[in-house]
Chains A and B, each alone.
Chain A
Amino acid sequence: MNTDHDLVVIGGGPAGIAAASTAASFGLRVAIIDERVTFGGQIFKRLGDGFDLESPEALGKDYARGARLIQELEQSEISKFNSTTVLTIEDNQIITSHPVDGVRRFSCKALVIAPGAYDRPVVFPGWTLPGVMTAGAVQTLVKTQQISPGKRIFFAGSGPLALAFSAQLIKYGAPVFKVIESAPFPSPTKLLGLLSSIKGNWDLAGDAIRYRATLLSHHVPFHYGRIITKAEGSGRVEAVTHARVDKDWNPIKGTEIVEPADTLCLGYGFFPSHELFRLLDCDFDYDETRGGFTVSKDSWGLTKSSSPLAIYAVGDGTGVTGSYSAEAQGRLAGLHIANHLGSLSTQERDRRSKNFRKELQQRNDFQRAINKMFEVKQGIYRLAEANTVICRCESVRAKEIDPVIDSTCDVSVVKSYSRAGMGLCQARNCQRQIAAMIAIRHKISISEIPFQTPRMPVKPVEIGKIADPSIREEKYFIQ
């Protein structure tokens, strides 16, 4: 099946929905694609099938905001494709796979990519034990299925995520017994820095205070300046070890505390999902506070790439700045596309964009100040021991990667010699850890270490779903 549109949006979170709805409101033919069964992205994930919601207000204003966005999408003329995974983008074709309908190709004049972000993996002894989970995974279980993964949950993380997620989990009834944050208690200077960008962000500041209050009222201790160093247990997590850190987040010997726990929830921030941008050969910048490598784009979200399509990049997949910023980015891209395709005058585009631009600026300033306050330090990459598995898909240990790193700075070389990064997760879990190991060994910055060569498919897919007997090769190499 082949479908032709003015605009195709990949990703149905706040950024993607905002871009699609905005463009569609000017009469453009728009399709939105998402690999999940429902729209809303990770942040506005709704209850699973079979659950009824008696009082939506109990779920807070985020739920209501998500519901509004999703409603905007549902009431539009936009063609919606759920459970649809993008495999590759080639020339002007977006090639996707659906579990029942198989391969579907989309073509369009403009493309918005809003792929979102994923939990930052943290590698330490025991990180692959069952019971060690990322905050996103625990959140999904708790939010959509109302299931708590354990009876005694230890939460280790950093940044607004550590506070927000742990408080949310507690509110949903998950038994979190302690939270540790790697960054130090914010200094007065940093708090002042935060205050200078608080305009337009009082809501977020209020959230933070409420989250802290939730923890206090449930008597859940929250410790600054500590990092997870180990998870132990036979067959699953039974105990966790954490330690105080120095300013680079290196654990300080002698400060370790071991505590019994059956679940370890990790929330150390997010990495942007930039696989599609890499496949399209887009330019990249580096910004540690927004998740490392981020795709380069102009103020409307337009990227530079080798593709013949106009490609816009919006949302946390282009640098982690949160859902308000993501939505504003989506609106701006939608306006620019409507103008670009002749459905909106430039004057009108600029007039309508003013408020979104202001919102974006304020949200990004605040987020940047927060991210700076909780910036991830190099110590997070030094937690692994010689026997720690680095690539969990292929079971490659640190001691097997170390000797390769001596003679190369290229993650693709490490991959080909050690198999690290060859498995099912397509290196999402280990590639930054390996890049950091190289950076530490060769005393260079992690920003100088490029990704491994991008290859399609962007997500694993069953052979039977994509094999196409109608494609015939030339009979021989040389006719």
Chain B
Amino acid sequence: MKERSPFLVGYLDNETNQSALPKSSDVVIIGGGLLGTSLAYYLSKSKVETVLIERDDINREASGTNAGSFHFQIALHQLTPNMSESEKRRLADEVRLQVDAASLWDEIERELDADLGVHFDGGIMVAETEDEMRVLKEKDAIEKEAGLESHILVGDEMRTFAPYLAPDLAGISFCPREGHANPLLVGPTYAYRAWQNGAHFRTGCDVTRIERINVGGDLKGRRFRVVTSRGVIECNRVVNATGAWAAELSSQLGLRIPLGLSGLHVNVTEPREYFLKSMVQHIGRRLTLKQTHNNTFIIGGGWPSREEKFPKRYSNTWSSTAGNLAVALRVLPMLADVKLLRTWSGVWAFTKDFKPILGESEKVPGYHIAMVPTGFTLGPMVAQMLSQYMTATPGKGKLPSEFNIDREVA
């Protein structure tokens, strides 16, 4: 058995939920998920005055409710049979981005001096049918070209490598770089380290309005007034890191951010003796399956849950539970007598092109958005990029143009 999950290195203090909101700050980050907390960390490390406000508690939505997988391999929803060359090139670009993210995750536990349950024990993608096997091989080729190590295994080779899998699968690919971390620890640890660096946090603080002030005035002056349930704060720069709610907030400033929303279902089981080192996914069905270092199994993969309005949680459905577990059993039959303990769900926000929205609006200078569809994998890296942009000499910072926040504004 592996050791049990560590606790957080530290917790935000009473000030977070009790003290009044500061009157002003250089940067106000709205949203205490992984994007917001990691950005607060990188900004505060560069001595930028930062206040993060969150209407609930830190890490409560997608950042804490996802299954903690690193999606370095090409995601299932990106793949279609008979892909064109340009589609393949686009996917290869994305894989390169994921490879960069992997190096950040390599370093994160050292950077934050904390055990975050980061594991790079590889990822298995299974194919049940010959059709799926063909897509798996195409995916493998794209990944290799982009510099992500990957191996295809079939027959006895597959059965020896992963004896716990159903023996009649058509084949698997194995990506040694893939892994996972504990999503319950990463965001709060970033928050705690940011707080140690001097960033301020206010939870239970709901933004009701963002107003522009001093429009066209001196760049050094305050440009926004953020009105919250706990008072008013003026700031020079705002970062909208509210994930699934990014569009709602941006519309107040006349910006249209078309986001798709979907509820994702996750299952967790009782603990069993540790044996499953690698995460398991399915190329043709919705499945992610991993054993955590608390020895429980987390089973997800994108089955839907019902949308509810905040503050209610998206509700789980029976069909997603029974369907998702059936896919898991097809791939790992030995889980049949393991008990399902609980289900939960989180909201997943995505853009039409699945690329992040990252940067400063040209229409509303000083207003930034940080939103990533594969937020857990890419969140910290994207936050680091935005922090570099925000700490560069004005006009000198650069972000990838395909992440441009005005690109989707109709």
Residue-wise interface mask of B (271-289) relative to A, using a CB-CB cutoff of 8 A (1 in contact, 0 not): 0000000000000111000
Distance A475 CA – B324 CA, assembled complex (angstroms)? 13
Give Cα distance in the complex from A460 to B337, angstroms: 11
Roughly how many angstroms separate A418 CA and B188 CA in the complex, as a whole number?
12
When distances are taken between beta carbons in the complex, the residues of chain A under 8 Å from B324 are: 473
Q: Are A467 and B343 in contact (CB under 8 A)?
A: no
Q: B303 near A463 (CB under 8 angstroms)? A: no
8 Å CB contacts to B: which residues of A367-409?
394-395, 400, 403-404, 406-409
Whether B329 lies near A463 (C-beta < 8 A) is: yes
Report if A362 contacts B (CB, 8 A): no
Report chain B residues within 8 Å CB of A394: 4, 294
Chain A stretch 175-218: residues in CB contact (< 8 A) with chain B: none
Residue of A with least CB distance to B80: A476
- Residue in A423, A472, A478 whose beta carbon sits within 8 Å of that of B341 in the complex: A423
What's the least CB distance linking B178 to chain A, in Å? 20
CB-based nearest A residue for B339: A460
A413 to B269, CA, bound (A): 20
Indicate if A255 sits at the interface (CB-CB under 8 A): no
Known: A471-B322, A471-B326, A476-B77. A407 touches B344 (CB 8 A): no
Tell me which residues across on chain A come within 8 A of B325, comparing CB atoms: 463, 466-468
Contacting residues, chain B, for A422 (C-beta < 8 A): 268, 341-342
B335 within 8 A of A: yes
The A contact surface, by secondary structure, is loop
Q: Is the pair A473, B337 in contact by a Cβ cutoff of 8 Å?
A: no
B-chain residues with CB within 8 Å of residue A409 when the two chains form the complex: 17
Q: Tell whether, in the assembled complex, residue A462 and residue B340 are in contact, meaning their CB atoms are under 8 Å apart.
A: yes
Closest to B65 in A: A416
Contact with A along B60-95 (1 / 0, CB 8 A): 100010000000000011001000000000000000
A467 contacts which of B76, B326, B341 (Cβ < 8 Å)? B326
B7 touches A408 (CB 8 A): no
Q: Are A456 and B339 in contact (CB under 8 A)?
A: no
**A453: Cβ under 8 A from any B Cβ:** yes
Q: With a CB–CB cut-off of 8 A, which chain A residues contact B14?
A: 406-407
Q: Which residues of chain B from 289 to 317 have any CB-CB distance to chain A below 8 Å in the complex?
A: 294, 302-303, 313, 316-317
Q: Is B8 an interface residue (CB 8 A)?
A: yes
B12 sits at the interface (CB 8 A):
yes
- Bound-state CA distance A462–B76 (Å) is 28
Complex: A456 Cα to B318 Cα, angstroms: 9
Residues of chain B within 8 A (CB-CB) of A418 are 7
B13 on the A face (CB < 8 A) = yes
Q: B313 contacts A400, CB within 8 Å?
A: no
Measured CB to CB, the nearest residue on chain B to A413 is: B57
A419 contacts which chain B residues (CB < 8 A)? 5, 294
Residue A455 lies at the interface, judged by CB distance under 8 Å to chain B: yes
A472 to chain B, nearest CB (A): 7
Supply 10 A–B pairs (Cβ within 8 Å), ascending by A. A88-B318, A93-B318, A103-B322, A406-B13, A412-B60, A417-B188, A418-B7, A423-B341, A466-B340, A467-B328
B330 is an interface residue with CB less than 8 A from chain A? yes
Q: How many residues of A contact B (CB 8 A)?
A: 46
A457 in contact (CB, < 8 A): yes
Chain A: minimal CB distance from B156 (Å) = 26
B323 within 8 A of A: yes
Interface 0/1 of B361-401, CB less than 8 Å to A: 00000000000000000000000000000000000000000
Cross-chain contact B323 with A468 (CB below 8 angstroms): yes
Is B319 located at the chain interface by the 8 A CB criterion?
Answer: yes
A466, B286: Cα distance in complex, Å: 18
Task: Name the residue on A nearest B14 (C-beta).
Answer: A406
Answer yes or no: A296 CB below 8 A from chain B CBs. no
B residues with CB within 8 A of A: 4-5, 7-8, 10-14, 16-17, 57, 59-60, 64, 76-77, 80, 184, 188, 203, 260, 262, 268-270, 284-286, 294, 302-303, 313, 316-319, 321-330, 335-344, 350
Knowing A423-B341, A461-B339, A468-B322 are in contact, say whether A416-B12 is a contact too (CB < 8 A).
no
A460 x B329 contact (CB < 8 A): no
Q: A407-B17, A417-B8, A456-B321 are in contact. Are A464 and B343 (CB under 8 A)?
A: no
**Which chain A residues border B5 with CB–CB below 8 Å?**
419
> Which residues of chain B are within 8 angstroms of A103 by Cβ–Cβ distance?
322
Contact flag A473-B322 (CB < 8 Å), given A410-B57, A455-B316, A463-B338: no
Q: Write out the residue numbers on chain B whose beta carbons fall within 8 Å of the beta carbon of A462.
A: 336-340
| CB neighbours of B77 from chain A (8 A) | 476-478
Minimum distance in angstroms from A81 CB to a CB of chain B: 18
Bitwise interface map of A from 216 to 249 toward B, beta carbon under 8 Å scored 1, else 0: 0000000000000000000000000000000000
Given the interface contacts A463-B328, A464-B336, A478-B260, does A417 sit within 8 Å of B323 by beta carbon?
Answer: no
The number of residue pairs between A and B whose CB atoms lie closer than 8 Å in the complex comes to 132
Indicate if the CB atoms of A413 and B319 lie closer than 8 Å: no
| Contact in complex: A463, B11 (CB < 8 Å) | no
CA distance A463 to B80 in the complex (A): 31
A147 within 8 A of B: no
* B10, B77, B342 pick with most chain A CB within 10 angstroms: B342
Q: Are A90 and B328 in contact (CB under 8 A)?
A: no
Give the CA-CA distance A471 to B318 in the complex, in Å: 10
CB contacts (< 8 Å) of A426 on chain B: these are: 341-342
Question: How far is A473 from B11 in the complex, measured between Cα atoms in Å?
Answer: 40
Tell me, in angstroms, the Cα distance from A416 to B185 when the chains sit together: 9
B335 / chain A contacts, CB cutoff of 8 Å: 463-464
Please report the C-alpha to C-alpha distance between residue A463 and residue B343 in the assembled complex, in whole angstroms.
12
Query: When A460-B339, A463-B335, A471-B322 are in contact, do A417 and B184 touch as well, CB less than 8 Å?
Result: yes
Residue of B270, B302, B326 near A468 (CB, 8 A) is B326
Q: How far is the CB of A418 from chain B (nearest CB, A)?
A: 6
CA distance A95 to B329 in the complex (A): 20
A298 shortest CB reach to chain B, Å: 25
From A88, A410, A457, residue with most partner B Cβ within 10 Å: A457
Contact B57 A455 (CB under 8 A): no
Query: A416: nearest residue on chain B (CB-CB)?
Result: B184
Determine if A476 and B340 form an interchain contact, defined as CB atoms under 8 angstroms apart.
Answer: no
Interface residue? A469 (CB, 8 A): yes
Q: Which chain A residues (409-458) contact chain B, with CB distance < 8 Å?
A: 409-410, 412-413, 416-419, 422-424, 426, 453, 455-457
Give the shortest distance, in Å, between A405 (CB) and chain B (any CB): 9
Q: Is the CB of B269 within 8 A of A473?
A: no
Task: Give the CA-CA distance A478 to B178 in the complex, in Å.
Answer: 24
Closest to A477 in B: B77
**CA separation between A464 and B10, bound complex, in Å?**
40
CB distance from B113 to the nearest CB of A (A): 17
